[in-house]
Amino acid sequence: MHPYDHARSSARIHGGLWQDYFGLHAWFDATKALQCRFTHRALRHHLEGVREALEIFGPAILNRDGVKVPTQVLGLQHLDEDSPKIADAKDWLVDFDKPDWFPAATPSLDDLARESAQRFGGDAEKYLPLHRWFLATENWTVGNEHLVFRHHAWGVFEAEARLGIVIQTGNGAAVPTRVIAERHVQTVLGRVPPASDFLKRIKGERWMLQATSPRKLGLV
């Protein structure tokens, strides 16, 4: 469904106006800009994505009726309306066709921060939040398939959106976040691929595309 329909559904359930909820639902569906195929949902349509939404939108959204609606409830509503299965991130990567250039091992957080400090200057600890954000998906999967979720060009721009335009590296100096993020992905993968390079390798399953229609929800 379109974010507009998800938002109308939220308003019908919780009150307020559809505009109160549109931003959250648009965030879940923004990955369609990467690939107009249902596998784009692999990047945010899972329980880990709901937890990310909490970090971005806060614990609740205040609607026009003055009611605070839990962000988690709204995120789960979005997932439920887009699939018969409330998925974990790892569910999207069952039988993932891993590229042969995937690394056997990932550099440590501290090593990445030290490399950034050597390359861009400043204190290594200033770079830790960026590298930590990229590697936060390590617990989403068993193997290094977790790199699918953030280690690509889309992830570089996401890092900038989450961490700001520049990173203050110490002594009044600053480096563009995107530049450091590109270097992070290059160091880990040896390249900065488009997210679509990963999404096209996901094995499609029926549950991934069985979205509820606005008609079934009584919205038309």
- Residue 218 identity (one-letter amino acid): G
55 lies in the same domain as 13: yes
Task: Check if the beta carbon of residue 35 is closer than 8 Å to that of residue 199.
Answer: yes
Same domain, 114 and 85: no
Q: Is the pLDDT of residue 217 over 90?
A: no
Residue 215 lies in a domain: no
Residue 170, judged by CB atoms within 10 A of its CB (0-12, 13-18, 19+), counts as middle
Q: Is residue 11 part of a domain?
A: yes
Residue 142 pLDDT? 86
114 bridge partner residues: none
Q: Are residues 19 and 76 in the same domain?
A: yes
**Are 84 and 117 in a shared domain?**
no
Question: Taking residues 117-130, what's their average pLDDT?
Answer: 96
Predicted local confidence at residue 174, as pLDDT: 95
Shared-domain flag, residues 14 and 85: yes
Residues 37-54 have a mean pLDDT of: 97
Tokens of 55: 């970090």
Alpha-carbon torsion (123, 183, 163, 89), positive or negative: negative
What domain range is 182 assigned to? 109-199
* Residues 165 and 127 occupy one common structural domain: yes
Q: In this structure, are 125 and 77 located in the same domain?
A: no
Report if pTM > 0.75: yes
- Chosen domain end from 89, 122, 138: 89
pLDDT digits (tens, 9 = 90+) for 185-194: 999 999 999 9
- Give the total number of structural domains in the chain: 2
Does any domain span residue 95? Answer: no
The verdict on residue 43 lying in a domain is yes
